[in-house]
Amino acid sequence: MHDIVIRGGMIVDGSGAPAFVGDVAIDGERISRVGLVPERGREDIDATGKIVSPGFIDLHTHYDAQVMWDPILAPTSWNGVTTIVMGNCGVGFAPARPDSRNFLMEVMEAVEEIPQPVLRDGLAWDWESFPEYLDAIERRQHTIDIGTQVGNVALRRYVLGDRSGSPEPASSQEIETMNSLLEEALRAGALGFSFSRTDVHRMTDGSVIPGADVPTADAFGMSGSLAAVGGRVIQFLGNAHAHLDEDMEDIVELARRSRSAIHFPMTDMRWRERIDMIERAAAEGLDLYGQVPPRGQGAVAHWDSASRPFENCPSFQAIAHLPLAERLTKLRDPEVRSRIIAEFDPATDSLARRTPLSRIFPAGDYPNYEPDPEIDSIAAIASATGSSPAALMYDEMMRDDGTGMLIATIFNYAAGDFSDIREILLQRGTIPSMSDAGAHSTRVVDAAQPTFMLQHWVRDRTRGEKLPLETVIKGYTRDAAVSYGMLDRGLVAEGYLADLNIIDLTSVRLPKPYRAYDLPAGGLRLLQKPEGYIATIKRGVVTFRNGEHCGRFPGQLVRGAQPALIATAAA
């Protein structure tokens, strides 16, 4: 008798091979048989007509703080994700001397929009070194597996102190010290190293975050510790808008020196040059991966978000300080509405000045993430109806008792559809990613990317070709696992971790996000509850049934690269 047998499901095994009908047996935390399983299980799950896939892997999250107080890590875990990687974009909380804690929280608020009151209330700070941070993660309960990376900001601050924000290069001794600390972290179980060179990531005083404007030699200097442990992963956030050619040269050189796989964000901007770089590097035996958002990137705007229209209107500013319920009462007043709409100026509006009205769309009850700018945008609707764009946005956000939302697509939607994104996702070395889960909590809710891809890319897309189910599953499972050296997961095959999803593809869908004030100190975040997940299994334990958490916490800290346990694991 097996512990669990999943019977008669359409198995999409993560390899990219065609789906097939079969059974999956689980014993302990591993898959023990795939195919025909005549023996019974202590629990049998009927998956007839359902998809059985590996658990999804989210490579780009910012749960570095939330992992300390939240054992579930919703909404990520709601979406079939069984493994996450955090410590991205060079930010994090270890190593951290006591006198640097406030600074690191300031960085996280400035870069990832996680408010300091949330961090101060939620973090116990029962660590200083990075190995101690890993131990602190391990002491807590988790629904899913947690992998993390060393961020350059914390490392640089730990060694350089107040000089960490200076554009001056670190001394050779300081680089040697940082290398030593990084190697210590890698040997303790860090998956890799992350750093940012983008000038978008700035402190509240306008200065770039530590390490963003130092010479490239500093980054190259950190390669020694990665090479010393046989190579891991470097997550590189470049300044692609201004220095794409320089960034590409640096990425390839980092891969050579560190003997590590390099992950970097990739959108529809000059993407063919990035693909050429990946191909040239592969010919040299180097592993480069572009993390691709599978839809447009931007913001969800509502009356309590960090990015919203009307922010600069005097009549709105007069009530912006009020608690949301009181503010909504004022906003329902026709006179207040008229004044705010009259004061709206897209040239100065905090949302519209960054996003043309042709790229702002009503969210509706079930958002369309590939809308047609010529038909569905605020600009198009205003033109067709003779309404003012300001009135349309105001009234949309007032829908459903003030819970209405707008979707502003800022990046990765240059063509006004997903034609480029589809082509990028079909290229070698690209992985669907960049959810930013845990960050930008009032205006971004991209943790549902795997669900979105099943709903839109596999089943519902009408504005172009879809993507094969097997390709989508492979991207979020085996491709993601191999790219980070986690060779024990990402396949439905004997010997692999029993991280599995059972999904009803016919009922998968994403309703509009909703506001929840459930972070420490009453902090706000957007949540989006997916539909269509029959069960999620983590290390052989059923953690979710029909979207509800089962109160079980089999997740573990992933300490370093996970070796292949069977001969086919490198496939």
State the Cα–Cα distance between residues 571 and 569, nearest whole angstrom.
5
What pLDDT was estimated at residue 417? 97
Largest CA distance in the chain: 71
Close Cβ partners of 258 (under 8 Å, ≥ 6 residues apart): 222, 223, 226, 227, 231, 234
What pLDDT was estimated at residue 102? 97
DSSP per-residue string spanning 306-367: SS-TTTT-HHHHTTTTS-HHHHHHHHTSHHHHHHHHHH--TTT-TTTTTS-GGGEEE--SS-
State the residue for tokens 């709903």. Answer: 455
Nearest C-alpha neighbor of 408 from the set 553, 554, 305, 516:
305
List of E strands, 373-424: 406-411
Determine the Cα angle at 86 with ends 307 and 204, to 5°.
Answer: 40
- The HSE-up count of residue 303 (CA atoms within 13 Å, CB side) is 26
What pLDDT was estimated at residue 242? 52
What pLDDT was estimated at residue 570? 36
Using CA atoms, how far residue 485 sits from 126, 497, 524, in Å, is 29, 14, 35
Nearest C-alpha neighbor of 14 from the set 420, 382, 478, 537:
478
- What's the full length of the chain, in residues? 571
What pLDDT was estimated at residue 566? 53
H/E element, 227: helix 223-228
DSSP state of 473: H
State the residue for tokens 């700070």. Answer: 125
What are the pLDDT tens digits along the chain (571 aa)?
999 999 999 999 999 999 999 999 999 999 999 999 999 999 999 999 999 999 999 999 999 999 999 999 999 999 999 999 999 999 999 999 999 999 999 999 999 999 999 999 999 999 999 999 999 999 999 999 999 999 999 999 999 999 998 888 899 999 999 999 999 999 999 999 999 888 888 888 888 898 888 777 777 888 999 999 999 999 998 875 555 666 788 899 999 999 999 999 999 988 999 999 999 999 999 999 999 999 999 999 999 998 899 999 999 999 999 999 999 999 999 999 999 999 999 999 989 998 999 999 999 999 999 999 999 999 999 999 999 999 999 999 999 999 999 999 989 999 999 999 999 999 999 999 999 999 999 999 999 999 999 999 999 999 999 999 999 999 999 999 999 999 999 999 999 999 999 999 999 999 999 999 999 999 999 999 999 999 999 999 999 999 999 999 999 999 999 987 654 433 3
431 - beta bridge partners?
Answer: 291
User: Is-contact 143 72, C-beta < 8 A?
Assistant: yes
State the Cα–Cα distance between residues 392 and 361, nearest whole angstrom.
10
What pLDDT was estimated at residue 569? 39
State the Cα–Cα distance between residues 567 and 55, nearest whole angstrom.
21
* SS3 letters across 509-556: ECCCCEEEEEEHHHEEEEECCCECEEEEEECCEEEEECCEECCCCCCC
pTM of the complete model: 0.96
Encode 260-290: b = buried (16+ Cβ within 10 Å), e = exposed: bbbbbbbbbeebeebbebbeebeeeebbbbb
Order of strands across the sheet with 56-58?
56-58, 81-86, 145-151, 192-196, 233-237, 261-265, 288-292, 430-432
State the Cα–Cα distance between residues 193 and 455, nearest whole angstrom.
33
Q: Please state, as a whole number, how many other Cβ atoms lie within 10 Å of the Cβ of residue 204.
A: 9
Nearest C-alpha neighbor of 487 from the set 195, 102, 83:
83
User: Within the chain, how many helices (H) and strands (E) appear?
Assistant: 18, 22
Sequence letter at residue 471: T
What pLDDT was estimated at residue 567? 42
Q: Domains in the chain and their CATH numbers?
A: 57-296+414-483 (3.20.20.140), 299-411 (no CATH)
